[in-house]
């Protein structure tokens, strides 16, 4: 069990082989529609709403439809929402739990590698508005998190890679031993059926726990957890969300590491060492290209951009992230152009 301290309410993560919620008369289930035709004993089918887990469902309009259904089903202040699904279902459930009746309890049963290793803790809630990802939200922790790794058997290889891509940034932000631990696991060619997911999940969550307990509301060190995400979110948008979030994050880290190299924080040997695990994760998307100007235009709308200064997280070395500001976007544009040439050379060398 992993205990998480929160100023709103403390909660814990349980690892269970069998899910038993006990009394569930006042439980309302928001479930990824992938599981609609599967029978789970812990579900109350009379109080279940199935959600299509895509970015369009994270819109304010779609959430209002779910809210209406819940109110018709007589959800009330003492009700508990039970979320069964991955990050998108989690975002929708936590957002609703936060705003309905000024806040009700919710339980999270994450079913994806990404949500089990990362998003299930941290209290962040976010939905999309217009073309901007995760622009509306706040903080609202679950009552508890229940992880059953058997759900990972339902995932596609793409989803496995997305989970590995998302959790990867924790190991880069932690220390050299944790990075080497992750690198060793990634070097295993049988990622689809890798038996080491649970140790990776536990280590990933414990690394994140250190950040979020010291800085729950992202006023200080928690901002470093955005390493890879500024570029990753932009890549997601440019691809019209065809590139999964975690894979896009690994691509964003790849870009950030190149910028660290160009700024002479890391040397060529370190760059190659940092890039290798990431390239294994987004290998199938190596040929994805983007306009540097489009990337700049999107990250200027990022929440980390302040007073027209673009801020990105880069590494001075493993475990030593820094915030790098660019008041002149042409400098960053130049780095992105050089990155595109660098990536072409990497592709040609493989």
**Which pair of tokens denotes residue 264?**
């002479």
Of the CA atoms within 13 Å of residue 225, those in its CB half-sphere come to 25
Cβ proximity of 42 and 24 under 8 Å:
yes
- Compute the distance between CA of residue 136 and CA of residue 128 in angstroms, rounded to an integer: 6
Which class does domain 157-349 fall in?
Answer: mainly alpha
pTM of the model: 0.92
Tens-place pLDDT, residues 139-158: 999 999 999 999 998 899 99
- Compute the distance between CA of residue 339 and CA of residue 261 in angstroms, rounded to an integer: 11
- Compute the distance between CA of residue 179 and CA of residue 184 in angstroms, rounded to an integer: 9
Cβ proximity of 310 and 326 under 8 Å:
yes
* Fold type of domain 2-153: Rossmann fold (3.40.50)
**Which pair of tokens denotes residue 115?**
């949500």
So where are the chain's domains? 2-153, 157-349
Helix or strand run (H / E) with residue 308: none
Helix or strand run (H / E) with residue 269: helix 268-281
Name 255's Cβ contacts closer than 8 Å, sequence gap at least 6: 231, 336, 339
Residue 110: closest CA among 15, 37, 187: 15
Task: Give phi and psi for 113, each to the nearest 5.
Answer: -65, -35
Q: Which residue has the tokens 């209406």?
A: 68
Cβ proximity of 54 and 91 under 8 Å:
no
The neighbouring-strand residues paired with 84 are: 31, 109
What is the structure's pLDDT at 102? Answer: 95
DSSP E strands, the chain? 2-4, 11-15, 27-32, 48-51, 80-85, 105-110, 124-129, 132-139, 144-147, 310-317, 320-326
pLDDT along the chain (350 residues), means of 10: 96 93 87 89 86 90 95 96 96 97 97 96 91 85 96 92 96 97 83 77 97 94 95 92 94 98 97 96 91 90 70 96 92 95 81
What is the structure's pLDDT at 306? Answer: 64
- Compute the distance between CA of residue 84 and CA of residue 116 in angstroms, rounded to an integer: 11
Of the CA atoms within 13 Å of residue 257, those in its CB half-sphere come to 27
How large is the angle between the packed helices 157-174 and 197-214, nearest 10 degrees? 50
CA distances for 8 relative to 11, 28, 250, angstroms: 10, 22, 31
DSSP sequence for 135-174:
EEEEE---SEEEE-GGGGGG--HHHHHHHHHHHHHHHHHH
Residue 50: closest CA among 62, 60, 59: 62
The neighbouring-strand residues paired with 278 are: none
What is the structure's pLDDT at 347? Answer: 75
Task: Give phi and psi for 297, each to the nearest 5.
Answer: -60, -40
- Compute the distance between CA of residue 222 and CA of residue 109 in angstroms, rounded to an integer: 24
Helices (H), 103-244: 113-114, 157-174, 176-186, 197-214, 229-238
């Amino acid at each position: 069990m992993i205990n998480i301290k929160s100023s709103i309410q403390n909660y814990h993560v349980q690892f269970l082989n069998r899910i038993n919620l006990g009394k569930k008369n006042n439980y309302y289930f928001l479930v990824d529609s992938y599981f609609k035709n599967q029978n789970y004993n812990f579900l109350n089918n009379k109080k279940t709403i199935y959600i299509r887990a895509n970015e369009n469902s994270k819109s304010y309009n779609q959430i209002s439809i779910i809210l209406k259904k819940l109110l018709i089903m007589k959800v009330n202040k003492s009700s508990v929402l039970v979320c069964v699904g991955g990050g998108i279902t989690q975002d929708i459930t936590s957002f609703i739990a936060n705003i309905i009746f000024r806040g009700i309890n919710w339980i999270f049963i994450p079913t994806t590698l990404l949500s089990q290793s990362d998003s299930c803790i941290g209290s962040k809630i976010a939905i999309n508005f217009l073309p901007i990802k995760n622009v509306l939200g706040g903080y609202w922790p679950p009552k508890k998190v229940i992880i059953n790794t058997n759900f990972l058997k339902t995932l596609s290889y793409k989803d496995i890679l997305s989970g590995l891509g998302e959790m990867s940034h924790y190991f880069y932000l932690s220390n050299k031993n944790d990075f080497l631990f992750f690198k060793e696991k990634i070097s295993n060619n049988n990622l689809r059926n890798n038996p080491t997911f649970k140790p990776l999940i536990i280590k990933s969550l414990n690394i994140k726990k250190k950040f979020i307990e010291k800085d729950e509301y992202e006023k200080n060190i928690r901002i470093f957890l955005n390493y890879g995400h500024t570029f990753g979110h932009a890549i997601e948008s440019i691809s019209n969300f065809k590139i999964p979030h975690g894979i896009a994050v690994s691509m964003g880290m790849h870009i950030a590491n190149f910028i660290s190299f160009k700024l002479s924080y890391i040397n060529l040997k370190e760059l190659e060492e940092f890039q290798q695990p990431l390239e294994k994760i987004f290998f199938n998307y190596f040929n994805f290209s983007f306009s540097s100007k489009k990337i700049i235009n999107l990250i200027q709308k990022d929440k980390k951009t302040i007073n027209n200064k673009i801020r990105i997280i880069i590494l001075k070395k493993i475990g030593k992230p820094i915030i790098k500001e660019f008041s002149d976007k042409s400098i960053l544009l130049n780095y992105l152009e050089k990155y595109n040439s660098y990536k072409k050379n990497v592709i040609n060398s493989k």
